[in-house]
Amino acid sequence: MTHQPIPDGADRTPAPPKPSSANGTRPGSALLVAHESPALDATGQAVDQDGVQPSIDVNGAYPPVDLDGGQRVVDLDAAERAAADFLAALGIDLDREERRATPARMAHAYAELLAAQPFRLTTFRNDEGYDELVLARAIPFRTLCEHHMLLFSGVAHVGYLPGERILGLSKLARLVEHFAARPQTQERLTMQVAKCLDANLHPRGVGVVMEAEHTCMTQRGVRALGATTVTSALLGGLRTDPRSRAEFFALARVPNPPAG
Ligand code: ZN
């Protein structure tokens, strides 16, 4: 199944980079974007509830953005009790010695799958004026589908056309990992990575493609073994310029990219 794409370094002195972004919107609060329940406008763009724009420091650099994983409170004891009730309700005998710790293991396993590691989305001035596509290919990810709380996993290809700032390459993988650490749909995960990159890096274009296998589809229900779901989100120049778009899909090695 292929989804159609969803619509949508700074000078040393003295002028700070303009916070324009690939999709023509001003950046919202990145911290808010990263939270469990970001405020979204009608287009799904995260918005800053108090309208505060990221401040720019005296060197014209954007401060690093802390992606702290939100404010989720985890009560492992309650999760363990609930897991025991859940399994018992399904008729699973938890009195067998080898299963006694299963509810606790289950609680810890889900907590681990949903634990976002905090990191800083540090950007750097694009001093060399690099203006070609930057692409991290085949970033592995796994998350839980929010409809069944079953795993889905695959790879993400994340790219951008640099503007005044560039990003440490490992941050592209960290960004995917960050947004995967919550119950998700593949469509939302794809858009969140694209929009967070756009809002915080202000590149000329952003492209995200995700290819994943959903166990709720392959291991139950229709049991469509081997079926892969592909989603993409293109913003800015990677959306509007056919040549950049084609280059992105070619470098990402997506065999049948959605039509433009
Ligand atoms: Zn599902």
List of residues 6+ apart from 99 with CB closer than 8 A: 92, 93
- Cα 221 to ligand 1 centre (Å): 10
Residues 143-178 pLDDT 10s: 999 999 999 999 999 999 999 999 988 999 999 999
Residue 95: what pLDDT?
Answer: 95
CA of 11 to the centre of ligand 1 (A): 47
Q: How many angstroms is it from 154 CA to the middle of ligand 1?
A: 14
- For the CA atoms of 172, 176, 181, 186, the dihedral, rounded to the nearest 10 degrees, stands at 170
Asked if CATH classification 3.30.1130.10 holds for the domain at 30-70+115-252, the reply, yes or no, is: yes
Going by DSSP bridges, is the β-strand pair 119-121/151-161 parallel, antiparallel, or unpaired?
unpaired
Neighbours of 220 (CB within 10 A): 11
Residues of the chain with CATH 3.30.1130.10: 30-70+115-252
- Max Cα-Cα span within the chain: 70
What pLDDT, on a 0 to 100 scale, did the predictor assign at position 33? 30
Of the candidates 180, 167, 110, 111, which has an alpha carbon nearest to the alpha carbon of residue 139? Answer: 180
C-alpha–C-alpha distance, residues 148 and 184, integer Å: 10
Would you say 143 and 173 are in contact if contact means Cβ atoms under 8 Å apart?
Answer: no
Gyration radius (Cα) of the chain, Å: 20
Measure the CA–CA gap between 74 and 79, rounded to whole angstroms.
Answer: 8
Give the residue-averaged pLDDT of 207-211: 97
pLDDT in tens, 212-260: 999 999 888 888 888 899 999 999 999 999 999 999 999 998 876 666 5
- Which residues have their alpha-adjacent CB atom under 5 A from ion ligand 1? 145, 147-148, 216
Nearest alpha carbon to residue 107 among 127, 132, 131, 87:
87
Residue 112 C-alpha to ligand 1 middle, in angstroms? Answer: 19
